[in-house]
């Protein structure tokens, strides 16, 4: 029987790359996305297409409501635009969604146990955008320690390992890695505030980081901008 992995897939380029890494590692991949009333819901159609073109076995979307508290799920908080890369790295940004990765990983954990999957892949990254506490190696390590005592599968001796292959990579390295693994970025979306056609704004922190990284990598960004 082939080994299985749950891959958290946001629709962005990091998680598409994590999917590429899981495939390259020989896993049967089951992708998992979330509809949490995010401003950038266009990413869900990207996740669906990205799953399909990379031969994921299936793609599930879990829907839930969040409690606000972020520019990404509260329409009264504005997405910052036009900041320099230096300005972004200082503090936890308003696009931080309280405990988002903890919620995402917890659903992945449940799904992994139901599937009998031994791995969870997430594209979290601590380098280019270090403001999110739940993207740091220290957090992932603590999460793994919790997993090891949390489920029937893990307490009975079968592992569920949380893999973060991109956590120490720069965005440029991520794009190069994905390209080397034939990851197709044409159906990824990084923008926090896309228009009604899904076209990226090119001005939010996430777009600016993506644009700068593609430019530096010498690889063409295949997505349309407004």
Shortest reach from residue 123's CB to a second copy, in Å: 18
Strand ranges for 4-144 from DSSP E: 4-8, 28-35, 58-63, 119-121
Closest alpha carbon to 97 in 59, 49, 64: 64
Kindly tell me which of 58 and 182 has the beta carbon lying closer to a second copy.
58
42-81: contacts with a second copy (CB under 8 A): 60, 62-69
99 binds a second copy (CB under 8 A): yes
Give the number of C-alpha atoms closer than 13 A to the C-alpha of residue 160, restricted to the C-beta side: 31
Closest alpha carbon to 106 in 156, 32, 49, 46: 32
150-179: contacts with a second copy (CB under 8 A): 150-152, 154-156
- Choice from 3, 78, 98, 182 touching a second copy (CB under 8 A): 98
111 binds a second copy (CB under 8 A): yes
d(CA 90, CA 98): 18
Question: What φ, ψ does residue 204 adopt, rounded to 5°?
Answer: -75, 165
* Contact set with a second copy (CB under 8 A): 60, 62-69, 92, 96-103, 105-107, 109-111, 113-115, 133-134, 136, 138-139, 142-143, 145-146, 148-152, 154-156
């Amino acid at each position: 029987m082939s080994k299985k992995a749950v891959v958290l897939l946001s629709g962005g380029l990091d998680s598409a790359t994590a999917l590429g890494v899981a495939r390259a590692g020989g896993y049967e991949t089951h992708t998992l996305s979330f509809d949490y009333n995010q401003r950038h819901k266009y990413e869900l159609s990207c996740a669906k297409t990205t799953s399909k073109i990379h031969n994921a076995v299936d793609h599930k979307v879990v829907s839930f409501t969040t409690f606000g508290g972020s520019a990404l799920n509260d329409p009264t908080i504005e997405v910052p635009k036009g900041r320099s890369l230096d300005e972004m790295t200082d503090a936890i940004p308003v696009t931080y969604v309280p405990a988002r990765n903890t919620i995402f990983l917890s659903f992945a954990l449940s799904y992994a146990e139901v599937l009998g999957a031994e791995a969870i892949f997430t594209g979290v990254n601590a380098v280019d955008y270090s403001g999110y506490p739940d993207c740091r190696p220290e957090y992932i390590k603590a999460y793994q320690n919790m997993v090891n005592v949390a489920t029937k599968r893990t307490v009975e001796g079968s592992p569920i390992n949380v893999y973060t292959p991109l956590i120490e990579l720069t965005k440029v390295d991520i794009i190069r890695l994905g390209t080397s693994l034939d990851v197709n970025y044409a159906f990824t979306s990084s923008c926090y505030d896309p228009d009604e056609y899904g076209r990226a704004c090119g001005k939010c922190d996430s777009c600016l980081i993506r644009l700068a990284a593609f430019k530096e990598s010498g690889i063409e960004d295949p997505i349309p901008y407004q």
